[in-house]
Amino acid sequence: MRGKGSVFLIIWASLMTLIVLGLVGFEMVRMFGKSNLSAKSATSTPMMGQTDYVPVETGSATTWQSDWVRYNGEVYDYNEDITTFLIMGIDKDDKVVTPVIDEIDGGQADALFLLVLDPHKNEIKVVGINRNAMADVDVYDEYGRYQTTVVAQISLQHGFGDGMESSCEYQVKAVSNMFYQLPIHGYVAVNMSAIPEINDMVGGVDVVVPEDLTKWDKTLKEGAKVHLEGEHAYNFVRSRDVHVYASNDARLERQRQYINGFIEAVREKSSEDPGFAVDLFKSVNEVMVTNISVDEVSYLAPYITGYSFDSSDIIMVEGTTRKNGDFDEFIVDEDALYQTIIDTFYEKVDYVD
């Protein structure tokens, strides 16, 4: 019995050692993931103004910090623990992403969403950006040489590039600048034509059709509750009549609803299988362009199910659409955008002059 007991203890100790080493290894992967994400952003804090404010007197024990912002009588500090990603849906028919020959046909970013993970509030937020939002767009020639910067639809920025990393980096810069140089820690760009495949990997997405789309898909009747599968998901997310004024505004609302349903589907799958997010990431590698690595996804995966999220956590950048010749232009409400940035990325500081 003593011999058997000793063998049992050895086996038990070996198993515990393997488990501990496995956990340590997993935590090390997550640690590297967190460190890598923090290093990827080109900026450390938004440039919201008033960074040089120095009070004459202070009734607070807290010293004024250079990156604080005074807004509507309150003081705010950027939440540096937030992780932000730019999600792009590219208007291209190729299911497998490939570089373009020249540098001016990278495809337009028809869907633009910021995915925000806040560890202080344990919540996920999504900020939707109208693809017609007028913003500073850097123009490059077919050889990738910078020419000038113009005010244009922000979705055009992705087109200036190779359709791969350079296009994504240009788009990240344009969105970051629109949000006062907001730190963006990673990006994912997926060709719209790949939506059916990705949609079915999460088991489909439930939506309520907000407008009549039977011109493109007979199943998408206004008001119908639909479980989107295959091409139906593609038709729901991408379809619009370019000849109808402000048609993208309605499509953006559909994309907002789809993003909500997609995140919920991923969260449900992840609650059943903790490794689902990592497996999904690996399986869609050929249909997306991203600078996010597997170890970074491993770091982020537990937050998918652990953080709160519902439809109220999807915020749309406000503004108005106007017609300019043959094109729609979305004029961003700068006051509303500033408020959105404060609400989403900043925390109130208890400070008294």
Give the pLDDT of residue 33.
54
Rounded average pLDDT per 10-residue block, the chain, 353 residues:
51 48 43 64 80 48 81 93 94 81 81 95 96 96 92 96 93 97 95 92 96 96 96 95 90 94 93 90 88 88 87 95 92 97 95 73
Measure the CA–CA gap between 114 and 116, rounded to whole angstroms: 6
d(CA 157, CA 214) in angstroms, rounded, equals 31
Kindly list the strands in the beta sheet with 314-316, ordered across the sheet, starting from the edge strand earlier in the chain.
Answer: 288-290, 186-191, 83-90, 109-118, 123-129, 314-316
Whole-number pLDDT of residue 27: 45
pLDDT value at residue 84 = 95
Number of other residues whose CB lies within 10 A of the CB of residue 219: 15
What is the C-alpha to C-alpha distance for residues 145 and 30, in angstroms, rounded to an integer? 38
pLDDT of residue 64: 83
pTM score of the predicted model: 0.86
